[in-house]
């Protein structure tokens, strides 16, 4: 069975370009999330779905994994299941010895590309900060904070319950608590 895997980084990005290239596959899995790690819902479903003799086909390695370590880990999972991997852009097929070798080379290039993008982003942020143009991420605002903060300080709810009600992480919650206490 030929299994296609498509990934875009955000909900707003389109998958059509990849889907057109993979139109002949028997089953298609589509993720709309970052490729920075392998904790992706459709990727995990695809890895559970594949069986011996299947072929996983992707448009490019960068759509499958962003680091050499993740790529080699995913390929190891597929290999242990006797599943081959094909990347159309790189003309790579792990059913051949040269394909296995090239997989490592292209994986390293994909990781280099990702690291270069992050470096350029950090450089751009540093320049914008030096010019006073970058203020950082916008604060998470929740109109319920005052009410929930009061409930928490009065001991009516726990910090964990407050975080859950606000849909905030622990660090965001305690940062806002600190800010609130400083303004009182």
- The C-alpha atoms of residue 153 and residue 133 are separated, in whole angstroms, by 36
Q: How many CA atoms lie within 13 A of 166 on its CB side?
A: 28
Q: Which residues are catalytic?
A: 9
- Unique residue bearing structure tokens 């299941």: 81
Q: Of 70, 43, 61, 72, which is closest to residue 113 (Cα–Cα)?
A: 61
Give the Cα separation of 93 and 101 in Å (integer): 10
């Amino acid at each position: 069975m030929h299994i296609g895997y498509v990934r875009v980084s955000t909900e707003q990005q389109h998958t059509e370009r990849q889907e057109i290239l993979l139109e002949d596959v028997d089953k298609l899995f589509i993720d709309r999330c970052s490729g920075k790690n392998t904790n992706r819902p459709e990727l995990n479903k695809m890895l559970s779905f594949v069986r011996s003799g299947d072929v996983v086909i992707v448009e490019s390695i960068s759509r499958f994994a962003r680091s050499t370590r993740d790529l080699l880990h995913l390929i190891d999972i597929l290999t242990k299941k006797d599943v081959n991997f094909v990347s159309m852009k790189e003309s790579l097929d792990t059913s051949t010895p040269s394909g296995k070798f090239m997989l490592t080379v292209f994986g390293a290039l994909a990781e280099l590309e990702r690291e270069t993008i992050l470096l350029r982003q950090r450089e751009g942020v540093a320049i914008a900060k030096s010019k006073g143009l970058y203020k950082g991420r916008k604060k998470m605002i929740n109109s319920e904070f005052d009410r929930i903060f009061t409930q928490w300080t009065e001991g009516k709810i726990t910090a964990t319950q407050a975080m859950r009600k606000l849909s905030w992480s622990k660090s965001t919650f305690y940062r806002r608590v600190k800010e609130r206490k400083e303004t009182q």
